[in-house]
Structure 1
Amino acid sequence: VDHLTPPMTRAELYGSLQQLEGLIDEYYEAQSLDPSRLKLISDRITQLVTQENLHQDLGIEHFDTINMAEFLTRADGYLCELKEAQIRDGLHIFGQCPPQSQLRDLMVAIARIPDQNRLGLTRAIAQDLGLDFDPLTADLSKPFSFPPNANFAPSHLCGCRTIGDAVEVLEEQAAELVESLISYSQEEVGEATHKELQWMRDHLLPSLQQTPQEITHLLRGLEGKYIPSGSAGAPTRGRADVLPTGRNFYSVDIRGIPTETAWNVGRKAAEAVIERYTQENGEYPRTLAISVWGTSTMRTGGDDVAEALALLGVQPVWEGVSRRVVDFEILPLSV
C-alpha cells in the first residue's frame, strides 16, 4: 500500500545566510539613498563572508580577489536559489492528511509543477501579471523590471530588485491563494490562475483529503480483501496522477515511461552531457553508459530512460488522454 510523500515547503534562509541577505539588501538600498554608508556595509559583508567561509559555497577561492559588485550579484542569486529550494517539513504520518500550513505548502509544491494539461500555479500567476520570465527556470540573480506590456504592477512586486525577489513574491501569493482555497473562500484572479485553482479545488485537494484511506486499505489488505491499484510516483515531481494514495501500487507502468515531464528533464540532461564532453575533449563522445534504477524511475517518471532516448536521437510520441508512449520520432541532426 503506497503512502503520501512527506510535506514539502520552501527552505527559506536562517543564521548567517539570512544575515547576508539582509546586508545585501541594505547595501543596495544605501546605493540610492546614502552612499556614504556603503563602505561600512561592505566591511560588514566581508567580515561575515570570511568568518563563515560563505565565499567557498560560491566557488570563490579567495574572497579578496573579487570586486564587491560581482560578489553581490553571485551571492544574491545563490541565496535566492537556496531560499526557493524544496525541503521536507517533517515526516508523513501514515493515514493522515497533512494539517494546515503543511497541507498548503504541499499543495503549492505539487501545483507548481506543470504537466501536459496544466501551466503550473506560479507560471499561471506570472502569466496573468504579464511578467516576461519563467519562475521555474529563470536566472534568479538577474535584475527584475516590469515589462512594458505588463497587465498591471501590483504593489507587492514594486520593491523587487531581482527576479529571485519576484519569484519569492509569486510563491507567497501562491500560498495565500491556496490558503484561501482550503478555507473555501475565493479571491479575484486572472484566467490562467483561475484554471489552476479550479484543478486544485476539484482534483488535488479532494485527493489529498482521501489520505486516511491508507489505513483503511492496509487493513483490507491484511484481511485478504481487494485494494484498488494505482501507479507509483512522486506527486511533487509532476506525478499528481498518483493521488490519492493508499492503493496497491505497481512499480512502473512501462506504457507511460518516460512521461512528458521526464522527457524534458532527460533531454536537457543529455544535452548537458554532450556539451560538457565536447567542451572538455573537443569531439563528440563515441560511447556512453547510463545506469537506470527502478526506484528512480518510479519517482521521476523515467528521467534516466528519457536521457538515454535523447542520446539515441529519438523522442517519444504520447497518445492523447492516456499519455502512454505509442511511438518514437527520430530527431533531426539540427535539434
Structure 2
Amino acid sequence: MTIPEPEGADLKPSYIEAGQPFNRDTHYIEDRLTRDARDGWPVEPGRYRLVAARACPWANRTAIVRRLLGLEGVISLGLPGPTHDKNSWTFDLDPGAVDPVLGIERLQQAYFARFPDYPRGITVPAIVDVPSGRVVTNNYPQITIDFETEWVEYHRAGAPDLYPVALRAEIDEVAELIFHDVNNGVYKCGFAGSQKSYERAYDTLFARLDWLEERLATRRFLVGDTITEADIRLFTTLARFDAVYHGHFKCNRNKLTEMPVLWAYARDLFQTPGFGDTIDFEQIKRHYYVTHSDINPSGIVPKGPDARGWLEPSGREALGGRPFGDGTPPGPPLPAERVPSL
C-alpha cells in the first residue's frame, strides 16, 4: 500500500507550531482485519497483538472494547510505558524493556518491519501481526468497529452489542461531533499556536460539553438505552479531563467535577466493568506532563487530583437503561492487565 506524505506526526519534538492551530494527522494505515480477509489480514485468533498504551485516550478505546467483548484470549495486549521520545513508544514496563510476544523494544520496529521508510508518527493503538512482526493498522476508529463487527464469532457469551445496526447512523453522527469538538478539541486547546486558535477551540469545546450536559440530563447513555461505541469514545476524554486537560491543556472554564450531569455520567461508566479497570491515572499524568516538554518544560507531574471521587455513587440508575442490554458484564481483568486500584 502507499502511505500518504506526512502532514504532521503525533510524535515529534514540538507539538506546537507558532501562530497555527493544531491539526491532527488523520492519515492512518487503513488495512483492516476482516472475516473475508479483503486486505490480506483474516480474522484469526492468536495471530495479532494489540499495542495500546494505558496513557493514550485513543488506545484506551480499544482496550475497553476488547474487555467488553471478551477478546482477551483472542487478541493479546502489549502495554508500552507512559512516555516516549520523538521516535517511538517503548516497552519499558516489560522485563528487559522488551515486549514479551513481539520481542521488540520499540513499537517503531513493527512499523519499520512493514514500511522501512515509514514517514508518519509511530502511534498507538496499533495491531501487529505476530508471525511477521509487521504492523497491520493504526486506524483506531476502525479498529474498535472491526472488533465489534468482524470478530463477532469470538465474542464472549453475553457480550454487548456496542454498534447495533439500527443505531449506527446516530452513533456515527454523535461520535463525529464528539471527535472534532471534545476528543480532539482538548488537543486543539493544548497545542494551539496562537491566542485566537486557542480561544476558538476552547469555546467550541465547552459549547459541546454544555450540549452533552443537556443531552445526558434525561438519558443514561448517548444513543439508545445501552452502552455503545459513542459512550466509549467520550469516556476516554472525560476520564483524563481533570487530571490533565483542565490544567495542562488550559481547558479551565470548569472541571469535569463541576458539571453535575457529565461527572455523574463519567462515574457511572467508570464503575462499569470494562471501563475504570482500564484506567491508570498515574500513567496518564506521567505521559502528558513528561512527554509534552514544550508545554511543561520542568517535567513535574502533579500529585492531584484525588481520584477516589470516581468511586462515589453516580445515581444514574434512576434514568433507566441497561448498560449491557441483553448481555452481561465482562469478568475481571487478566492478572497481567490489572491497573492499580484507587
Question: Is TM-score (shorter-chain normalized) higher than 0.5?
Answer: no
Query: TM-score, structure 2 length as denominator?
Result: 0.30
Query: TM-score, structure 1 length as denominator?
Result: 0.30
Higher relative contact order (CA 8 A, sep 6+): 2
